[in-house]
Amino acid sequence: MSALIECYPGQSLFHRLDPRAKIVFLLLFTTVIFIIQHIYLVVAVLLIVIALWGIARLPLRSLGGYFKMLSGILVFLFVVQATLYPGKVILIGPIIPSSVPLIGGKGNITEEGILFGFFITARLLTMILILPLVSMTTPIDRLTLGLVRLGLPYQLAYITTTALNQVAVLKAEAGVIMDAQRLRAFSTFEKGNPVAKMKAYPLLVTPLVIGAMHRAQLVAIAMESRGFGAKGERVYIEDIAMKPSDWVFIALSVLCCLAVLLANFLS
């Protein structure tokens, strides 16, 4: 998961954009994906986002592990929607025979259900793919500066980006804990069945959370010791400036979102 918020240095158009332009893009597209109600529009936005991944030249392999983790949820969502969505056009008859008491005759796989399953899955996928376009192309310092320049109080901006940064740290710590468990012949996370894995999670999560809390306190002490939270308006040695290309990008994002919304409300 760390790969999705880790910054990949590059020289693509997306890397060179002002962080503010990218944050505006992120907010616009995430809002739109929640509003639109038609599958073809969701697929259109998904295609735009995938095209942007190409423009940003981000390594698609970084998604591998993420999809492995998410595929279960996506398949589950799709199956639940396909079988339980109340549709009229029945493609496959009830999964549960009518002879079964109480729930007999339920579980019709309908055309609407399948479409809705696709819709939900595509929407989730799009949401997942939008954030890395920003986080993977913007160093954390510039992202913080972008949030500050957009008007977010410095402390809040720092908390946001530090939290983002800590995901990578947590992932690394989880790896260390699991390695330590493996060294003591604990193999439930690789070989165990889902129930055993669920039962084993406290063994991983407890040290992870305790470690994270301890670490957070040390980070806070280190920051306080360097004057974090001092009175006055904080100064930045690096500054960011909006270029014409940033304004063009924002304009295109707005136009694109307006077009999608218009299509959504007209159809």
Which chain residues interact with other proteins by CB under 8 A?
7, 139-141, 162, 165, 215, 218-238
| Beta strand pairing call for 109-110 and 90-92 | antiparallel
- 78-84, Cβ contacts within 8 angstroms, sequence gap of 24 or more: 78/117, 78/118, 78/120, 78/121, 79/117, 80/117, 81/113, 81/116, 81/117, 81/120, 82/109, 82/110, 82/113, 82/114, 82/116, 82/117, 83/107, 83/108, 83/109, 83/113, 84/113
**Which CB atom, from 66 or from 154, has the smaller least distance to other proteins?**
154
**Which CB atom, from 220 or from 258, has the smaller least distance to other proteins?**
220
To other proteins, the closest distance from the beta carbon of 21 in angstroms equals: 20
**Which CB atom, from 193 or from 225, has the smaller least distance to other proteins?**
225
**Which CB atom, from 7 or from 127, has the smaller least distance to other proteins?**
7
Query: Which amino acid, one-letter code, is at 186?
Result: F
DSSP code, position 90:
E
To other proteins, the closest distance from the beta carbon of 259 in angstroms equals: 36
To other proteins, the closest distance from the beta carbon of 229 in angstroms equals: 6
To other proteins, the closest distance from the beta carbon of 5 in angstroms equals: 13
To other proteins, the closest distance from the beta carbon of 153 in angstroms equals: 14
**Which CB atom, from 112 or from 141, has the smaller least distance to other proteins?**
141
CA distance 122 to 165: 27
